[in-house]
Amino acid sequence: MVEQGRFREAEPLYRSALRMLEQDFGSESPSVATVLKNLASVYHRQGRLLEAQPLLRRALVIEQGAAGPACPEVAATLDALGALAYEQKQYSEAERLFSHALAIREEQLGSDHLDVARSLNNLGELYTAIRRSASAEALLRRALAIKENKLGSGHPSVALTTNNLAALYAAQGRITEAEALYRRALDVVVKAQGSAHPDAAMSLNNLAVLLLDQRRYGEAEPLLQQALAINERALGPQHPRAADTLGNYALLLRQTGRKSQARKLEKRASQIQGRHARENLLHLTVDARALRGPGGRR
């Protein structure tokens, strides 16, 4: 259900499963940790980052107590916490978490394991964001090679790393290579997950931004329209991804002389971003209490 982008349907099912497992096996059961991570993933995909964090921290404490600090389950939770830190632009914390997860996975699973590729992908995406381009390319290429070898070229996880490598090339001004990779990623996602999946919207948005930067407005506009429709339908009209696409579409409208329409979209994007900022501030009190609980910041 989560893989199909049906997050709002998945949430009550995970909450119900969590209550039952806590009643039947106790709050420190590894099964509880698994459901906590699944629920955190649902929150993460909906942009509810500060609701996801305490769930992952609780799962981490359970896993470390049950299997020790260097097991694959702990690495997966560290990776998920790193992703949350990355999306909040806490880049030093994200690097620490991603690097820790990668070290555990390489030691426990071997250098060509799929979970190693996931850590490589995440660390490569981070290094792209902080302009460590040479390191980013090496990590992303290694991740892509592992995924293609293990999963085949048509897997959604391959599309994810392909998309990240395209973003790196775009940032470096390697436009032709970036466009080819964005189109390849989009094709894989549509074939594997369908044209209405949120990951398809992400690929459409990214390709559109590349085209927009080249002033290829006629090609970029329908991609942004399609991405916005998918995000609003699959994630809801108040999701941060919808705001991102609205902002990109507003930029296109401004650059093509449609300023009145652009202002309307900018207003909608600003309202969504403001609402999420306020929600995050409201959750800070809860999050701070979680940090003072067992385990603290990890």
Tens-digit pLDDT string for the chain (298 aa): 444 445 567 788 887 888 888 787 887 888 889 989 989 988 888 778 888 999 999 999 999 988 888 999 999 999 999 999 998 899 999 999 999 999 999 999 999 999 999 999 999 999 999 999 999 999 999 999 999 999 999 999 999 999 999 999 999 999 999 999 999 999 999 999 999 999 999 999 999 999 999 999 999 999 999 999 999 998 888 888 899 999 999 999 999 999 999 999 999 999 988 876 655 544 433 323 222 232 333 3
CATH classification for the domain delimited by 72-181, as one of 3.30.420.10, 1.25.40.10, 1.10.150.120, 3.60.150.10: 1.25.40.10
Q: What contacts 114, CB < 8 A, 6 or more positions away?
A: 146, 147, 150, 151, 157
195-279: which CATH topology?
Answer: 1.25.40
Range list of β-strands (E), 105-257: none
Compute how many other C-beta atoms are within 10 angstroms of the C-beta atom of residue 152: 10
Look at residue 63 in the predicted model and tell me its pLDDT: 93
Pick the CATH number of 1-68 from 1.20.1050, 1.25.40, 2.50.20, 3.90.320: 1.25.40
Q: Tokens in use for 206?
A: 């990214």
Question: pTM for the complete prediction?
Answer: 0.79
Portions of the chain given CATH number 1.25.40.10? 72-181, 195-279
